[in-house]
């Protein structure tokens, strides 16, 4: 049991350290125009890199995930908001899994 | 007078907190099926229920927890578990760095508290806010996702699947769909954002499919692809002082 608790503790530590270290160290506002722009674009970069190709393996069926991706893109393009886009994609994948790609 | 100013500050804090709560609710709902799966998988693998819940309460991360629990179940060494989890979580450094420039001035202990709640989703939502974000806002934003993550884990850990397997699998797409809902509208409005997203997707695909490079772990792929893309944005589309 103690080995298990140790594993949980180590996992928590290496998850928290990357989260807290930069925000605790960088107390001053960065002046460099490039670096400020870099940080401004970071969320878009991270979101893009996390979404694709990861989304293709998000469900148990590759083609179902692909359909979910397309539905999410269409709904997001029409600015439907977080919940609608997510629910629409889930529903599309579910329909695929139930009736199309079995 | 002093009292009056205090009241205004207090009022702002409450409205910031409430705005955070409101924005955190969809994230929390997206988390429940994912952490449900985590709880189910961990307990089925032989991890005690209370340990599975403890992992969610102390880690609050998806990929890292799945990998870590998988390794625990496979009887991996503590070193392997720690290293793998760390590599998967390196991407948070980039997010934390970005947020360090986005938050209002606050003492270290407040920063340390809110840093615990940085996840892919809370980061994305907070950084797309206009202007600086306050401690109260961040705590509001984090609250529901934190408890949603814990709740899903508890439900997954104590039940033997209430949801059908197909529905549960379909829900795996929810968080990715939320990512899409966050970056697509922004990319429509700004060519720079669109270019950054496309470059990031290009490089993460390279790290998935190109020979040799496909050996890269998903944690490193995301961080390298994101750094290349954000650098491209910084070089091609440096922002003017009044745009920040």
| Interface predicted TM-score of the whole assembly (ipTM), two decimals | 0.88
Interface contact flag, B181 A12, Cβ < 8 Å: no
Residue after which a domain boundary falls, among B140, B171, B202: B171
Q: What is the pLDDT of residue A81?
A: 84
* Residue B181 resides in a domain: no
* B36-86 tens-digit pLDDT: 888 988 888 889 999 999 999 999 998 889 889 988 988 888 998 898 888
Nearest by CB: B58 against A12, A36, A39: A12
Query: Residues 21 to 60 of A: which have CB under 8 A from any B CB?
Result: 21-27, 29-30, 33-55, 58-60
Q: What residues of chain A lie within 8 A of the CB of B68, using their CB?
A: 7, 11
Pick the residue from chain B with its C-alpha nearest to A8: B55
The two tokens of residue B221 are 């792929």
For residue B104, report the phi and psi dihedrals to the nearest 5 degrees. -70, 165
Range A47-72 average pLDDT: 93
Q: A70 in contact with B at a CB cutoff of 8 Å?
A: no
What sign for the dihedral angle of Cα B194, B28, B17, A85? Answer: positive
Does B169 or A89 have the greater pLDDT score? A89
* Same domain, yes or no: B61 and B132: yes
Burial of B211 (0-12, 13-18, 19+ CB in 10 A): exposed
* Same domain, yes or no: B148 and B222: no
- Domain region containing A55: 2-100
Q: How far is B32 from chain A (nearest CA, A)?
A: 13
* Residue B195 resides in a domain: yes
Per-position DSSP letters for B115-136, written without gaps between them = HTT--HHHHHHHHTSSS-B-HH
Q: What residues of chain B lie within 8 A of the CB of A9, using their CB?
A: 58
Nearest by CB: B96 against A22, A40, A98: A22
- Domain region containing B99: 2-171
Q: Which residues are registered as beta bridge partners of B133?
A: B103
Asked if residue A19 has pLDDT above 80, the reply is yes
Q: Tally the domains of chain A.
A: 1
Cα three-residue angle A18-B224-A69, rounded to 5 degrees: 100
* Same domain, yes or no: B102 and B201: no
Question: Which region holds residue B238: left if phi is over 0, alpha if psi is between -120 and 50, else beta?
Answer: beta
Give per-residue burial for A19-46: e unless 16+ CB within 10 Å, then b.
bbbbbeebeeeeeeeebbbbbbbbbbbb
Residue after which a domain boundary falls, among B171, B200, B232: B171
Interface contact flag, B226 A83, Cβ < 8 Å: no
Q: What is the pLDDT of residue A102?
A: 64
* Residue B72 resides in a domain: yes
Q: Tally the domains of chain B.
A: 2
Q: What residues of chain B lie within 8 A of the CB of A22, using their CB?
A: 93-94, 96-97, 100
Q: What is the pLDDT of residue B163?
A: 65
* Residue B209 resides in a domain: yes
* Same domain, yes or no: B116 and B205: no
Q: How far is B189 from chain A (nearest CA, A)?
A: 11
Per-position DSSP letters for chain B, written without gaps between them = -HHHHHHHHHHHHHHHHHHHHHHHHHHHHHHHHHHHHHHHHHHHTT--HHHHHHHHHHH--HHHHHHHHHHHHTT--HHHHHHHHHHHHTHHHHHHHHHHTTBPP--HHHHHHHHTT--HHHHHHHHTSSS-B-HHHHHHHHHHHHHHHHHHHHHHHHSS-SS-HHHHHHGGGHHHHHHHHHHHHHHHH-HHHHHHHHHHHHHHHHHHHSTTGGGS-HHHHHHHHHHHHHHHHHHHSPPPGGG-
Among A6, A14, A39, A44, the strongest candidate for a mutation testing the B interface, having the largest count of B CBs within 10 A, is A44
Interface contact flag, A86 B94, Cβ < 8 Å: no
* Same domain, yes or no: B46 and B147: yes
Residue after which a domain boundary falls, among B171, B204, B221: B171
* Residue B47 resides in a domain: yes
DSSP 8-class letter at A99: I
In which element (H, E) is residue A44 found?
helix A33-51
* Residue B86 resides in a domain: yes
Among B179, B216, B238, B242, the strongest candidate for a mutation testing the A interface, having the largest count of A CBs within 10 A, is B179
Pick the residue from chain A with its C-alpha nearest to B130: A40
pLDDT classification of B242: cutoffs 50, 70, 90: low
* Residue B243 resides in a domain: yes
* Same domain, yes or no: B128 and B244: no
Reported pTM: 0.81
Under 8 Å CB pairs connecting chains A and B tally to 315
* Residue B176 resides in a domain: no
pLDDT classification of A53: cutoffs 50, 70, 90: very high
Nearest by CB: A89 against B26, B72, B177: B177
Count other Cβ atoms within 10 Å, centred on residue A83.
16
* Same domain, yes or no: B15 and B130: yes
Q: What residues of chain A lie within 8 A of the CB of B70, using their CB?
A: none
Interface contact flag, B94 A64, Cβ < 8 Å: no
* B166-224 tens-digit pLDDT: 887 888 888 889 889 989 999 999 999 999 999 999 999 999 999 999 888 877 888 89
Q: What residues of chain A lie within 8 A of the CB of B128, using their CB?
A: 43
């Amino acid at each position: 049991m103690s080995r298990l608790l140790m594993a949980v503790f180590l996992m928590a530590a290496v998850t928290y350290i990357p989260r807290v270290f930069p925000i605790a160290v960088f107390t001053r506002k960065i002046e460099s125009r490039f670096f400020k722009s870099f940080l401004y674009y970071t969320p878009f970069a991270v979101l893009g890199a996390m979404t694709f190709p990861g989304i293709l393996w998000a469900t148990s069926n590759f083609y179902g995930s692909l359909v979910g991706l397309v539905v999410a893109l269409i709904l997001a393009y029409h600015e439907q908001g977080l919940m609608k886009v997510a629910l629409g994609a889930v529903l599309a994948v579910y329909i695929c899994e139930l009736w199309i790609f079995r | 007078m002093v009292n009056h100013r205090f009241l205004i500050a207090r009022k702002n804090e409450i409205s910031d907190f409430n705005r955070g709560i409101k924005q955190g609710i969809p994230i929390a709902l997206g988390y429940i099926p994912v952490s449900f799966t985590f709880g189910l998988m961990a307990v089925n693998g032989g991890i005690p229920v209370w340990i599975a819940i403890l992992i969610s309460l102390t880690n609050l991360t998806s990929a890292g927890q799945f990998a870590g629990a998988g390794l625990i179940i496979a009887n991996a060494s503590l070193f392997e578990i720690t290293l793998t989890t760390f590599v998967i979580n390196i991407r948070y450094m980039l997010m934390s760095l970005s947020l360090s420039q986005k938050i209002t001035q606050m003492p270290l202990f407040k920063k340390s508290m809110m840093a615990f709640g940085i996840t892919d989703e809370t980061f994305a939502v907070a950084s797309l806010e206009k202007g600086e974000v306050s401690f109260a806002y961040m705590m509001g934003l984090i609250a529901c996702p934190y408890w949603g993550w814990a709740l899903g884990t508890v439900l997954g850990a104590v039940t033997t699947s209430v949801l059908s397997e197909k529905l549960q699998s379909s829900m795996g797409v929810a968080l990715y769909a939320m990512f899409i809902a966050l970056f697509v509208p922004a990319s429509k409005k700004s060519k720079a954002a669109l270019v950054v997203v496309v470059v990031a997707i290009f490089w993460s695909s390279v790290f998935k499919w190109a020979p040799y490079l496909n050996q890269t772990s998903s944690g490193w792929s995301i961080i390298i692809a994101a750094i290349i893309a954000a650098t491209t944005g910084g070089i091609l589309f440096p922002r003017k002082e009044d745009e920040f």
